[in-house]
Amino acid sequence: MLSALKAEIQKMRSFIPASVRYGAPYRQKLKYLMESQFFGVERVREGQASDLRDLLRQAFLHTSHYRRMAQEIGCSWQDFRSPEDLRRLPVLARDTVRERQAEFLSDNIPESRRQKRFTGGTGGQPLGFVVERGRTDPLERAFVGRIWDWFGSRFEDPGVIFRGYAVDPADIRRGRFWGPWYPERNWACFSSYHMSGENLPAYAEQIRKLNPMFISCVASDLDPLARYWIEQKLAPLPRLRFIHQSGMLMHSDQRERFEKAFGARAFSTYGQSECTVFAGECEHNTELHVFPEYGVTEILRKDGGLADIEEVGEIVATGFNNYAMPLIRYRTGDLGAWSARGCACGRPFRLLSRLEGRGQYMIVLADGMVVGLNSILYGSHLPGLRMLKQVQVVQDKVGEILLMAVPTQEFNEDAGRALAAGLASVVEGRLVVHFRLVPEIPRVEGEKFKVLVQNLPVSWWTGYSGESPL
């Protein structure tokens, strides 16, 4: 009864325009962001330094963790004149946040304005944290709003969502694999858990009927539908402006498939539940533009030094949007490299030329070396991969992986053998690849699809921390 009432209120709220519903923080930030994208580099840096001082003031005065740190180091928030000054502070490990969460909570933000969040992912251990109710989400939306503006759509426009949502089981029984997604009245969310062959015609028909202006998705969730669309030679969606992918890495073959199937540009954004970093592609470029108004983003070597241009390191980030639980120089577990190039759009942002994904996408070779799964799987451009609908890799032993794959009709045993041999040769024989074809890869409802199930203790930062492989 109560939940029905809540749904009804949400539905009514959804008729209020986004600019009113998300409130002043959203409106002011979006207005600023629409202007700041045309500022020169120096002016953007000044704004960034000022936002950083405000964040440090909050953290140093109102959280016990950072108050103590400031005393130990002997610094005040006023000492931080440029984003580079942040390097005076140590990096922050996710485990520290997990173990000492209360010390990161701001004492001037009351319980009623603390919004609890969870993130799964890295290493399988979930992290609980807190964001600021009425401020963090509206600010986050403003950053997404700017990028949507680049591609020609707004929150009020009709759209469809594929993001691991579970739809009401009663609807599923009636063959409806979608439901409304409030607070946006024009959005429909589709179940990611029922996209098998027999249901796909119903998905396609409903989407054609909705005639969306955008698709928002996690790449792996949309992929089965894109393949179906192409196989059936369905016409592209006439009003579609873009396909916005986030939550994982989108590979070049997925991008091509989405654009071919639905007939609009597919782009990615990169961010995190912890709200420390945000980046997105623009109209001119598929490299991710890191947003300096969102926070300070660093790429560090294993020794803590700054990575060179085009050198892969860990992304360490400080976000400005969460005063309830400030995370400063937070180790994201993601790997990236700064691009040497600028972008034709002329906006004052640095680009990422590589994003290797989370630490948990690392696998251990026979000699104990840790490498990114994506660079092996997709950096190798093996033709056999294109004949697979979906893959999942499981690692239980050093130097061995199990590659489970759902094949397309064109796939055959020869292609399988060539693929396994090709993957092993990418890392000069330091990896044995067991290959298994499966009709489908089971998904856990409510969880993001995992490309890698890593059962070994691995991180890029510390390497393989299990028993010696030799």
**Residue 115 or residue 285: which is nearer to Zn ion going by CB?**
285
Least CB distance from residue 342 to Zn ion, whole Å? 8
Per DSSP bridges, beta strands 114-119 and 127-132 are antiparallel
Sign of the Cα torsion 66, 140, 120, 268 reads negative
Q: Which is nearer to Zn ion, 336 or 384 (CB)?
A: 336
Is 393 exposed, middle or buried (CB count within 10 Å of its CB: 0-12, 13-18, 19+)?
Answer: buried
User: Closest separation between CB of residue 160 and Zn ion, Å?
Assistant: 26
Cα distances (angstroms) measured from residue 343 to each of 4, 39, 251, 313: 48, 15, 21, 22
Site for Zn ion in 298-327 (CB under 5 A): none
**Rg of the chain taking only CA atoms, in angstroms:** 23
Nearer to Zn ion, 343 or 418 (CB): 343
* CB 444 to Zn ion: min, Å: 37
Torsion of CA 25, 143, 352, 246, to 10 degrees: 130
**Closer CB to Zn ion, 150 or 178, in the complex:** 150
Total of residues contacting Zn ion (CB under 5 A): 5
Min separation Cβ 204 and Zn ion, Å: 33
Shortest reach from residue 49's CB to Zn ion, in Å: 23
Assign 3-state DSSP to the chain and report helix, strand, coil percentages, each to 5.
35, 25, 40
- For the bound state, the minimum distance from the C-beta of residue 350 to Zn ion, rounded and expressed in Å, comes to 11
Task: Rule CB under 5 A: say whether 441 interacts with Zn ion.
Answer: no
Q: Find the binder of Zn ion among 64, 96, 115, 285 (CB under 5 A).
A: 285
List the one residue from 282, 365, 393, 433 that touches Zn ion (CB under 5 A).
282
Contact region with Zn ion (CB under 5 A), list: 170-178, 280-288, 296-304, 331-339: 280-288
Our CB check for Zn ion shows the closer of 152 and 158 to be 152
CB 347 to Zn ion: min, Å: 6
Q: How far is CA 425 from CA 375, 376, 393, in A?
A: 13, 10, 17
- Residue 6, C-beta contacts closer than 8 angstroms, at least 6 positions apart: none
98 vs 284, beta carbon nearer Zn ion? 284
The interface region with Zn ion, picked from 60-68, 128-136, 158-166, 274-282 by CB under 5 A, is 274-282
| 382, 383, 387, 392: CA torsion to nearest 10 | 0
Q: How far is the CB of 469 from Zn ion (least distance, A)?
A: 43
Cα dist from 295 to 146, 317, 326, whole Å: 16, 7, 11
Binding segment toward Zn ion, per CB under 5 A, in 158-166, 189-197, 283-291, 432-440: 283-291
Burial class (CB in 10 A: 0-12, 13-18, 19+), 201: exposed
Site string for Zn ion, 116-145 (x = CB under 5 A): ------------------------------
Provide, rounded to whole angstroms, the least separation between the CB of residue 143 and Zn ion: 15
Cβ within 8 Å of residue 392, ≥6 positions away: 403, 404, 405, 441, 449, 450, 451, 452, 453
Binding mask 330-369 for Zn ion (x = CB under 5 A): -------------x-x------------------------
Rank residues 44 and 282 by Cβ distance to Zn ion and give the closer one.
282
Both tokens of 103, joined, read 């010390």
Residue placing its CB nearer to Zn ion in the complex, 9 or 344: 344
Q: Which amino acid is at 186?
A: N
Q: Taking the chain, what is the end-to-end CA distance rounded to the nearest angstrom? A: 61
Give min distance, CB of 38 to Zn ion, in A.
12
Smallest gap, in angstroms, from Cβ of residue 367 to Zn ion? 40
Q: Cβ contacts of residue 83 below 8 Å, gap of 6+? A: 45, 48, 49, 52, 296
- Of 10 and 285, the one with the shorter C-beta distance to Zn ion is 285
Closer Cβ to Zn ion, 80 or 291, answer by number: 291
Cβ atoms 265, 140 nearer than 8 A: no
From the CB of 39, what's the least distance to Zn ion, in Å?
Answer: 15
Nearer to Zn ion, 244 or 358 (CB): 244
Q: Which range of residues in 281-289, 393-401, 432-440, 461-469 is near Zn ion by CB under 5 A? A: 281-289
Find the part of the chain contacting Zn ion (CB under 5 A) among 42-50, 285-293, 320-328, 440-448. 285-293
* Torsion angle of C-alpha atoms 158, 267, 295, 360, degrees rounded to 10: 110
* Closer residue to Zn ion in complex, CB, 90/346: 346
Beta-strand relationship, 388-397 and 313-319:
unpaired
Residue numbers at the binding site for Zn ion (CB under 5 A): 282, 284-285, 343, 345
